Structure formats: C-alpha cells, structure tokens
C-alpha cells in the first residue's frame, strides 16, 4: 500500500491560515490502512486544527468526510457541492488523490494534509516498512522475492557492498542488509547460480524518465468518459 504520514500541524495551520471554513477529507484506501488519513485521523486532525485556531482567537469551522477513495474520479464528485460550503479542503489522501482532485476541480483550493512516503507493508501493528520503489522494472524473480532497489540503501544491483557487516546495513545498522538476505534466501532455495551474473547499470527509463508514467488497457477503454 501507499504509506503516508500526517504533516506537522504547524504546516497545515499555515496552509489554511486565510480560511474560516475548511473541509478535512480522508480516504478509505491505503492511507486509512496505514492510519494516516482514514475516518479516525480526519476526526483527530479536525479537532486539533479547531483547538489551535480557537486558542489563536480565529475559530475554524470544519466539515469532516472520508471518501471511499480519492484516486478515482467517481468518488471525488462530492467535492463539487463541498466547494460551496467551504473555502478550502485539506485532503488526507496520498499525493495521487490530491493531484486528481486538483486536476478535476481546478477552482477548488485543496491542500495536502499528509506527506506521501513510500510503498510499504505492515509487518506488525503501528509499523510500516518500504518494500517496493515502483521502479517499473521488477527484478525480484532473480533475488528471491527481495527487492534491492527498495531495500538496499545504495540501490545496488550487484551487492552486497563492502559495508555490510554481520548481515546488517552500514548506513543503518538496525536494518538487515538485503543482499545478505538475498544470498541466504537463494542459497536455501538452491538458486545461488542466479547471483553469478553481473547486472549492467539499471535502466531507469521505466522508473519515470520522460515524465509521468501511464498505463493503458485498451480493452477496458469502453465508454471511457474519464478524460
């Protein structure tokens, strides 16, 4: 899922400083699962902003809603009527949601309430770890399912580096060296020969070289009125 984290309250307060009526809009997608932008976080943020503004002598009115998703146009349609009720919207969706809303509702003042951080997994309650960088050229068939692009601090393709010590990364000694893990994993699987090839420098073109990436499925483009 996409992992996000609430922006510092001072930053959000700065964004909405000119306004008296603001909608706080959450998303029940990834940001709800990673406890950054679901119903509960919307309620907390709205209460915190109102409290801060009340103390500053400039009371704030909030409308709180959480959409099913903010990365599909159909779920953003309530923004049309919300425009009439508030002066600005703080979205707790990832950057995808904020961008799409800004594309579709250009006269709406929409501000991000979270920083979008990474693609991660949720190995235990209250903890999220990066597992994928979305580089567009997945090689984990060769590395035992473990991604050196996302999980090696140096994004090495021919690791480990000389700094790997005792199975730990030299950049952050509390983090396992993913190349050590890859070696152990492939050894256990009897697939160590996969490490005998030398990978050339990575082609980063699929990672976003040339601007925003697109994916098209013509077979699904029927009665497409999204554009």
Partner 1 sequence: MSGWKITILCCHYTNEAMAEDLADIPAKIEIKSFPCSGRIEVSDILKALEAEAEAVLVAGCEKGSCHNRSGSMRAEKRVEAARKILEEIGMEPERVQMAFIPRLDTGAFVAAAKKTFEKLLDILPKGETTS
Do residues 96 and 117 lie in contact, with contact meaning Cβ atoms separated by under 8 Å? no
Quick one: which of 14, 20, 21, 44 contacts partner 1 (CB under 8 A)? 44
Q: Is 106 exposed, middle or buried (0-12, 13-18, 19+ CB in 10 A)?
A: exposed
Tell me whether residue 9 or residue 175 sits nearer to partner 1 (CB atom).
Answer: 9
Quick one: which of 1, 9, 135, 161 contacts partner 1 (CB under 8 A)? 9
Task: Examine residue 198 and tell whether it contacts partner 1 (CB under 8 A).
Answer: no
Burial 150-174 (b: 16+ CB within 10 A, else e): bbbeeebbebbeeebeeeebeeeee
Q: Is 133 exposed, middle or buried (0-12, 13-18, 19+ CB in 10 A)?
A: middle
Quick one: which of 48, 102, 132, 142 contacts partner 1 (CB under 8 A)? 48
**Least spacing, CB of residue 58 vs partner 1, in Å:** 13
Task: Examine residue 21 and tell whether it contacts partner 1 (CB under 8 A).
Answer: no
Q: In the 8-state DSSP scheme, what is residue 218?
A: G
Task: Examine residue 5 and tell whether it contacts partner 1 (CB under 8 A).
Answer: no
Task: Examine residue 17 and tell whether it contacts partner 1 (CB under 8 A).
Answer: no
**Least spacing, CB of residue 48 vs partner 1, in Å:** 5
Binding to partner 1, residues 54-93 (CB under 8 A): 54-55
- DSSP assignment of 113-145 equals -EEEEEEEEEEETTEEEEEE---S---TTTTTT
**Least spacing, CB of residue 122 vs partner 1, in Å:** 17
Q: Which residues are at the interface with partner 1 (CB under 8 A)?
A: 8-10, 13, 40, 43-44, 46-48, 50-52, 54-55
């Amino acid at each position: 899922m996409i992992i996000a984290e609430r922006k510092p309250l001072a930053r959000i307060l700065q964004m909405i400083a000119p306004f008296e009526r603001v909608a706080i809009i959450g998303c029940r997608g990834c940001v709800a699962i990673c406890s950054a932008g679901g119903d509960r976080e919307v309620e907390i943020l709205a209460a915190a902003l109102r409290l801060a503004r009340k103390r500053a002598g400039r009371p704030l009115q909030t409308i709180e809603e959480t959409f099913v998703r903010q990365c599909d146009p159909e779920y953003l349609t309530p923004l049309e009527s919300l425009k009439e009720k508030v002066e600005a919207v703080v979205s707790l969706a990832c950057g995808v949601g904020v961008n799409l809303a800004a594309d579709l509702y250009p006269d709406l003042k929409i501000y991000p309430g979270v920083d979008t951080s990474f693609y991660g997994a949720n190995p235990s309650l209250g903890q999220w770890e990066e597992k994928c960088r979305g580089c567009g050229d997945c090689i984990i068939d060769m590395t035992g399912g473990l991604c050196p692009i996302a999980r090696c601090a140096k994004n090495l393709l021919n690791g480990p580096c000389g700094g790997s010590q005792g199975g730990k990364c030299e950049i952050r000694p509390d983090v396992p060296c993913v190349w050590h893990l890859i070696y152990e994993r492939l050894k256990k699987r009897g697939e160590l020969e996969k490490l005998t090839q030398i990978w050339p420098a990575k082609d980063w073109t699929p990672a976003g070289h040339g601007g925003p990436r697109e994916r098209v499925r013509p077979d699904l483009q029927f009665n497409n009125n999204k554009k």
